[in-house]
Amino acid sequence: MLPDDAMAGDPRSAAPAAGSLMTDRQMHGAASPPSRPHSISGAPPWAALLTGLVVRLAWGAVVPGTPLRGDEETYVALARSLAAGHGYVAFGVPFTHYLPGWPLTLAVPLVLGFDLTGARVMQCLISTTVCFWAFLLGSRLVSRRVGVTAAWVGAFFPPLIWFSHLLTSETVSAALVGGWAVLGAKYVGDGGGWQRASGLAVLGALLPLFRAELVVVAPLPFLVRALEAAPRRELVRAAGACLAVAVALLPWWLYNERRFGEFIPLSTAGGVGLWIASHDPPLTDFDTPEFLAAATRLTIPGRPKNTDAAYAAEARDRIRQDPILYLSGRLLNLPRFWLGSHSETVPGAEPPLRIALKQGRYWAVAVKMTGFASQALLVAAALVGAVISFRRGVPLLLCLTVAMKFAAHAPFVQTPRFSLHLAPVLFAYAAAAAAFGVDRARRGKGPTPVTGTQGAALSNR
């Protein structure tokens, strides 16, 4: 509920909270009486979450399954090996390419005897939590109205629904980033004692166990907070967050040291990724003759770190021969981080759009157009929402997180699924843009009543 003084039009409620859009009270005057919401945005968030879960489960029941392939096949092989007690092995080979967070999580339903069906139900639940974090982020940034809108956006966002049945790390990464962003935004805005700081540091330390590029984000909330208050204390806490990351990764370091006698801080995917990106055009299939020949030539059995270094060295040599070609290729490739159909996860929609049109595969065309349109609309709305929010004093944390995530992939070949890791943030910003557009339209028609669920007073402060 709004505080009594706010309901009575107390002057203190007229100032917007830091990091909030203007509330309807400030736009239309404090004397307007409260009224009930007139749209789906006023529904309780649990309606959006339940709807999102039902949609995901229904999608899995309606769409036929496909054989495991690519990253999904490898993740499942690692999870099954862990569940059987055979170690971190895939296809008979000790693995370091993927970090262990998602295979360990995926092994849980397998150990409990639910096999892949149970794993996909778990994935649907994880996907639904992305909508919940979007709700909390939107409420924190602007108001509960925006938060509920963000949850509904997530509930029906097609690519997130499609990925809810793909057993890769994209969905769980989005959920973890969302939870961390909510706690981080609250900490930056309100501060907190050692308990809150410790919880934030622990969650930040878990992120690199799922995605290597997230290793740098753990100290960000403390560094951003240090710009506003108690810099010495916040810098100490930032150092503590870095230490928490090292402690979380320590078992992985020791395990690889015992297996290979090498210090492997994160994964051994960077050299291979750079090698692929150094080609013109970049290779898109690990089964191409060129890649298979390189794997035979550069792989050093039992030495994954040295193997990764060999790939990286050959890639750097190729880049030095024509750096402009590499840089121009990366610049032209950058938009793929944000724009893509995500349709490769949908059975029957795997071919490129040009081939699908030529062959008359209208199901694939429909899926791809849905994916392209929804992704482009989300990114455009999120950009507008971010600009509007930033102009109103939103803390730098979320903007820095998005920028660092984007920059971490810049040297390599971009794939649209990387943007899904930021889904809760994008949903919240897109909902903020939608709310701003609605408010502007209302102002153009004259004063409208304020609802009891709107305003920065209901943000998570």
Closest listed residue to residue 90, CA positions, set 70, 110, 109, 108: 70
Q: Is the peptide bond before 281 cis (omega within 30 degrees of 0)?
A: yes
Top pLDDT among 239 and 43 is at 239
Residues contacting 399, CB < 8 A, separation 6+: 386, 390
Q: What is the pLDDT of residues 304-317, one digit of tens each?
A: 999 999 999 999 99
Residue 296, pLDDT > 70, answer: yes
Q: What is the pLDDT of residues 353-403, one digit of tens each?
A: 888 888 888 888 999 999 999 999 999 999 998 888 776 555 678 888 888
**What's the mean pLDDT in 438-450?**
67
Q: What is the pLDDT of residue 302?
A: 85
**What's the mean pLDDT in 262-277?**
89
Look at the alpha carbons of 195, 196, 200, 203 in this order and tell me if their dihedral is positive or negative.
positive
Say if CB 295 and CB 246 are below 8 A apart.
no
The C-alpha atoms of residue 425 and residue 133 are separated, in whole angstroms, by 9
Residue 143 backbone phi and psi in degrees, to 5: -165, 170
Q: How many CB atoms lie within 10 A of CB 260?
A: 17
Q: What is the pLDDT of residue 449?
A: 44
Say if CB 172 and CB 126 are below 8 A apart.
yes
Q: What percent of the chain has pLDDT over 90?
A: 50
Top pLDDT among 410 and 43 is at 410
Residue with tokens 């791809």: 368
Q: What is the pLDDT of residues 112-140, one digit of tens each?
A: 999 899 999 999 999 999 999 999 999 98
What is the rounded average pLDDT for all residues in the chain?
Answer: 83
Return the minimum-mean-pLDDT range out of 175-179, 306-310, 341-345: 341-345
Alpha helices in 2-156 (DSSP H): 4-7, 24-28, 45-62, 70-83, 101-111, 115-141, 144-156
Residue 201, pLDDT > 70, answer: yes
Angle (deg, nearest 10), helices 115-141 and 423-445 = 40
Most confident of 34-43, 165-174, 288-297, 452-461: 165-174
Say if CB 460 and CB 186 are below 8 A apart.
yes
Q: DSSP character for 65?
A: P
Q: Exposed, middle or buried: residue 27 (CB in 10 Å: 0-12, 13-18, 19+)?
A: middle
Banded model confidence at residue 433, pLDDT cuts 50, 70, 90 = very high
Banded model confidence at residue 451, pLDDT cuts 50, 70, 90 = very low
pTM higher than 0.75 = yes
Residue 39, pLDDT > 70, answer: no
Banded model confidence at residue 414, pLDDT cuts 50, 70, 90 = confident
